[in-house]
Chains A and B, each alone.
Chain A
Amino acid sequence: MDMVNLTIDGIAVSVPKDTTILEAAKKLNINIPTLCFMKGINEPGSCRVCVVEVEGWRGLQPACVSKVSEGLVVKTATSTVREARKNILELIMANHNRECLSCSRNLKCELQTLCNDNGIDRLPYDKKIDKGCIDTSGPIVRDPNKCVLCGRCVSVCSKQQDVGVIDFAHRGAHTTVTTAYEEGLAGHDCINCGQCIKICPVGALQERDDTAKVWKALENKDLHVVVQTAPAVRVALGEEFGFAPGTNVEGKMVTALRRLGFNKIFDTNFSADLTIIEEGNELIQRIRNGGKLPMITSCSPGWIKYCEHKYHDFLENLSTCKSPQQMFGAIAKSYYPLKADVDPKNMFVVAVMPCTAKKYEADREEMQVDGLKDIDVVITTRELARMIRQAGIQFAELEDGQRDSILGTYTGAGTIFGNTGGVMEAALRTVADELTGKSLDCIEYTQVRGMAGIKEATINIADMEIKVAIASGTGNAGKLLDKIRAGEANYHFIEVMGCEGGCINGGGQPIIKDKSTSEEVKAARIKGLYDIDRACEIRKSHDNPEIQKLYSEYLGEAGGHKSHKLLHTHYIAR
């Protein structure tokens, strides 16, 4: 490898050719501040926060995109550089809506850190350009007056998620990031995945805060309020309270929920197991009876909306199963009330999700049975953390609590729904037993694990070569579907999750402060889920006793009449 020698702030360092000044400086523990830079996703070199002095070069250079060369002499904190950086941060602050105290990103904002670290002590300007009203049309709230025009959200939306619903508009100081005609996201093709929220350095993009609805329900004595928590929540919620990413804080989470006042604390992992029964059955039916293949999973509402907008020709491939969130709600308002002797109309179902698109999913027309909405409110992991803090609960000190039956038991298969490849593996565990007629011991399908955006595998089950594919991130899903359209690939079963890495990386998860650690955090959260799976006594969905009881006492058979009414849905070509 060609190495290049240079000095930064008088210290010599040797790095591979094509390294940027920013990366070389990091090796020397010099953290040149950045704002717009997001490696691999957004590298416009436009904010100019990272400018440094390079001997012999005219003007100051952006460290994030300037490559090193032999003998370079770089200075990162001379008075010229500090003055420039200060001027630039003052300029950014001047057109930023500074309501830090009431902003959801207070204390977790990159601009706050930059201003604090670079000695911004006053604002020399008055004028502020009005960039438009706050967009509250959907689950994602946009405040263009907080936008610092870094372009990260535009990049993630168009390059990573292949949606492109927002872009730069206008020019000069009137430049804004917005939808066409500056309309609400809800009226455009936004899939609500929330990847934009996570990558935004400030509070310009946030989730709609629905905690008020939850507080209200909890205080209503007439309501029977139950809560389900998604698999991915338990390995990330801890980050909001100082725990390392991937730490399983399920026990503390249950105790906190108990203290908040929920009547019952259930688990989405339970309904994930339920989804496997229905979906596994649906897949086998399609394979045996020449139904539409490949069958594609339907638990990710961001992916579903993406498919409804861009891939109408694959709508019939989608499994008709509702997502675990929705299935839970349907069962919680039909089976559970019977058992608990509660009036279904007084049921109030809250879902805690790592996902912002789940808020949209809960409000879809189709997601109701007999006039009752499956899910009443969805709150994200971040919102739950907020509620816990508001209640003064010292999360880290809590004892572990126990989930409730009859919708609270889960298997390892249900748990791994939270990461890419997990739904596939869960389904394979059940389908394999069904097709072979045996209870197989070998249940870890490592071929479908891993963080690659697109994975393919062929699984031999009962002398059948089952061809599967897994995609995470709608951009990758699109690439996979394009291959199928072009006739270059064919599969029996495809798992798609709207977010890269799966739900553990959902739009509602705790925001990673140091984005350069994103991959490690994702990996840690995924490992957390596989660890829970391994520690579970029961690891196959069909072995879940509460699920077995649900079928024997209420649903009858998988794919039967009751299942179809409660647990299946349809899609719309948009």
Chain B
Amino acid sequence: MEKVREILNRYGNSKENLIQVMLELQNISGTNSLPHEWVSFVAETLDMPISKVYGVITFYSMFGTVPRGKYLVEVCKSGPCYVTGSKNILQLLEDKLEIKPGQTTEDGFFTLILSSCFGACDIAPAIKIGEKVYGNLTSEKLSEIVDSYMEGQHNG
């Protein structure tokens, strides 16, 4: 809980920084999610009802309340990617990772997510793995990208 306290302190233990605090906590969780314990601790420290904090973290798409994969593989399903073939990209990923959207691979590495537009329309169809955006995808390129993550090329 020390890490949690440190982050809360850095944001002045103030309610208006709740979202910023939660984003940082999720980043250090290792599971791309917010552990229940941490959420309770934040609610207590900020003197907020936990029902309200839960309301905030379930409102925003980026937060997870259950553990997710080390890497979130997000496939855009909005207009610009849709008309340039995001359906195929999704199929390729479902086949490669052997999971459906919303699921996590058994080794806890990847969680496949369908997401809204993240501004990569000029290189559509696009996917986002963690912070990185990949576009102009072909089947080979996609395979290479996924492999590079599995081989640990993006650690750190």
Measured CB to CB, the residues of A under 8 A from B are 158, 163-171, 178-181, 188-189
Contacts and interface: CB of A to CB of B under 8 A. Distances in A.
Interface stretch (B48-56, B82-90, B104-112, B119-127): B48-56
Interface of B: 36, 39, 43, 49-55, 58-59, 65
A167 B59 contact: no
A409 B59 CA distance: 56
Q: Which residue of B39, B50, B51, B59 has the most chain A CB atoms within 10 A of its CB atom? A: B51
Contacts of B55: 167-169
Contacts of A179: 51, 54
Contacts of B49: 158, 163-165, 167, 189
Contacts of B52: 158, 164, 167
B7 to A, nearest CB: 20
19 contacts: A158-B49, A165-B51, A166-B51, A167-B49, A167-B51, A167-B52, A167-B54, A167-B55, A169-B58, A169-B59, A178-B51, A179-B54, A180-B39, A180-B43, A180-B50, A180-B54, A181-B54, A188-B50, A188-B51
A165 B49 CA distance: 7
Contacts of B36: 181
A189 B49 CA distance: 9
Nearest to B61: A171
Contacts, number: 40
Contacts of A163: 49
B8 to A, nearest CB: 18
A188 to B, nearest CB: 7
Contact of A169 (B39, B43, B54): B54
A190 to B, nearest CB: 10
Contacts of A165: 49, 51
A255 B39 CA distance: 54
Contacts of B54: 167, 169, 179-181
Nearest to A158: B49
A164 B51 contact: yes
B22 to A, nearest CB: 14
Nearest to B49: A164
B58 A171 contact: yes
A306 to B, nearest CB: 13
Contacts of B65: 181
Contacts of A158: 49, 52
B126 to A, nearest CB: 23
B45 to A, nearest CB: 15
A170 B53 contact: no
A264 B50 CA distance: 46
Q: Which residue of A163, A169, A188 has the most chain B CB atoms within 10 A of its CB atom? A: A169
Given A165-B49, A169-B58, A171-B59, 7 more contacts: A163-B49, A164-B49, A166-B51, A168-B55, A168-B59, A178-B51, A189-B49
Q: Lowest 3 A-B CB distances belong to which pairs?
A: A164-B49, A180-B54, A167-B51
A180 B53 contact: yes
A53 B60 CA distance: 34
A356 B126 CA distance: 55
Contacts of A180: 39, 43, 50-51, 53-54
A130 to B, nearest CB: 16
B55 to A, nearest CB: 4
Contacts of B43: 180
A166 B55 CA distance: 9
A460 B11 CA distance: 52
Nearest to B40: A180
A300 to B, nearest CB: 21
A171 B51 CA distance: 15
A369 B36 CA distance: 39
Nearest to B43: A180
Contact of B59 (A170, A178, A188): A170
Q: Which residue of B52, B55, B65 has the most chain A CB atoms within 10 A of its CB atom? A: B55
A269 B98 CA distance: 69
A132 to B, nearest CB: 12
A230 B43 CA distance: 38
A181 B57 CA distance: 11
Contacts of A178: 51
A440 B154 CA distance: 86
A181 B53 CA distance: 10
Nearest to A176: B58
A61 B53 CA distance: 32
A326 to B, nearest CB: 29
A188 B51 CA distance: 9
Nearest to A154: B51
A168 B51 CA distance: 8
Contacts of B59: 168-171
B155 to A, nearest CB: 32
A161 to B, nearest CB: 12
A171 B54 CA distance: 12
A170 B57 CA distance: 8
A516 to B, nearest CB: 28
